[in-house]
Amino acid sequence: MCAEKWENNEEINIFREYLRIPSVHPDIDYTACVEFLKRQANSLNLPVEVVYPAVESKPVVIIKWLGKQPELPSIILNSHMDVVPVYPDKWTHDPFAADIDEEGRIFARGTQDMKSVGTQYLGAIRLLKASGFQPKRTVYVTFVPDEEIGGILGMAVFVKADYFKQMNVGFSLDEGGTSASDVHHLFYAERIRWVLKLKVDGTAGHGSLLLPDTAGVKLNYVLNKLTEFRDSQIQRLKNDQSLSIGDVTTVNLTQLSGGVQSNVVPPLLEAIFDMRLSITLDLVAFEQQIRDWCKEAGGGIEIEFPLKEAFVAATKLDDSNPYWMGLKATLNELKLKVKPIVCFAVTDSRFIRQQGIPAIGFSPIINTPVLIHDHDEFLKAEYYLNGIEVYKKIIPNITEV
C-alpha cells in the first residue's frame, strides 16, 4: 500500500501526530504531549486528569474508562511519553517528521519505544466503545514521564502517591520488546540494575619507574576478575540455548577517569561499571565477591553504588494470576507465538511490581528490525494497525477476569 493511502487512515494520523511531538531528552517540556492526550481523551468521551507526583514539569496523564463494577481492582494500560536522544545526521528521515515511505514504514523516534503502544491502547478502546463494550473493571490508560532516564520522577513516585492508591490497581500492562521474528516477547520480570563505582588509590610517581601498588595495577586486577565473571555469563548463554540475555548478569565498564599526564603515574583512578543482575543471582554473595576482589588487589579501593536497586519478585505466569490467564487465553485465541522472558533492561513495570501488583510487558510489534534507541527507528503502518486489533482482544479478556 502506498504512502498516500496510509495518510488517509485516522489511526495512523493520530499516531503520527504523537510522534511529531519532540518529547526527547534532555529537559523535556511535556506540555504538547499533555494537550495531545487531552484531545484524544475528549475524542473518546473519557475523563482525563493530569497529576504531578514529583514536580510540576513531570506530569502523569490518566485517562479513565469506568467499569461496570468499579469496586473491583482496576487495570492499568501504561506507556511513557519520553523518548531518547537522536543523532539527526545518522537518520535518512527527520526523526520527528513521522515520514511514511512507499513500503508503509513510519520513521520517527518512538515508533517502537514506545509511543506506538500508547496510541494503540487508545485505538483499541475506540473500537471497543464503538461496539458498545464496557469493561467490568475500570481501565486507566496512563502516560508517564522520564522512563528513559529511570522513572525516578515518574512512575517511581506515582506508585507511592495517594492518587495511585485510590486507583485500586490489580494489574498493569506495559511495554514489551520489539521482535525481529514472528515470536512476541513478553516480560514477566526485570533484571536488577546496579551501578558500581571504584575509586582506586595507589602509589604515584614518575612514569618510567616500576612503582609498587599503583592504582593502575590494582584496577587491572579487579577489572580482570570482573571480566572473567562476564566471560562466564557469555559462556552460559553459549552452553544453554534456552537462555536469553535477561537470564544472565551483564557487567560493562562504561566510564574511566584519572591521571593528568602521560609520564605521571596517578594517585587515583576511577571506574564505573553498568551491571544488570540476574534475578537468580545471590546478590549478597555477589557484592561480597566484589569486595573480596578489591581486597585481593591490595586494598585502598573505595566502593560505591550510585545505583543499587533491590530484588523485585517476578510476576507469576500460572493459574494463581487470573490476569495472566486472561491474557494467555487471548494470545492462544489469536494463535500468537509468545516467549516469556526476563527483560534485559528495565521498564516502569518494576515499580508496579514493587507494590505487589502483577505487571506484564507486552508488545505486538513482530517481524520488525529491532531499532529501539537506534537510528532510523521505524514501524510499518500495517503492523501498527494490527497491534490495535491485538489490544482490542486483550483488553476485554483481562478486564473481565
Q: Return the H-helix or E-strand segment holding 60.
A: strand 60-65
Q: Return the H-helix or E-strand segment holding 48.
A: strand 48-51
Instruction: Give the burial class of 51: count Cβ atoms within 10 A of its Cβ; 0-12 exposed, 13-18 middle, 19 or more buried.
Output: middle
Decide if 82 is catalytic.
yes
Parallel, antiparallel, or unpaired for β 74-80 and 169-175? parallel
Please give the torsion angle defined by the CA atoms of residues 39, 349, 240 and 223, in that order, rounded to the nearest 10 degrees: 110
Given the residues 11, 113, 146, 147, select the one marked as catalytic. Answer: 147
CA-CA-CA-CA torsion sign (3, 4, 9, 10): positive
List of E strands, 249-332: 250-258, 264-265, 268-277, 301-308
Grid coordinates of 150: 529511570
Cis omega (within 30 of 0) for bond into 322: no
- Return d(Cα 111, Cα 370) in angstroms, integer: 11
DSSP structure string for 193-233: EEEEEEEEE---EETTS--SS-HHHHHHHHHHHHHHHHHHH
Decide if 377 is catalytic.
no
**How many CB atoms neighbour CB 245 within 10 A?**
15
Distance in angstroms between the alpha carbons of the first and the last residue of the chain:
39
Under 8 Å between Cβ of 202 and 269: yes
Active site residues: 82, 147
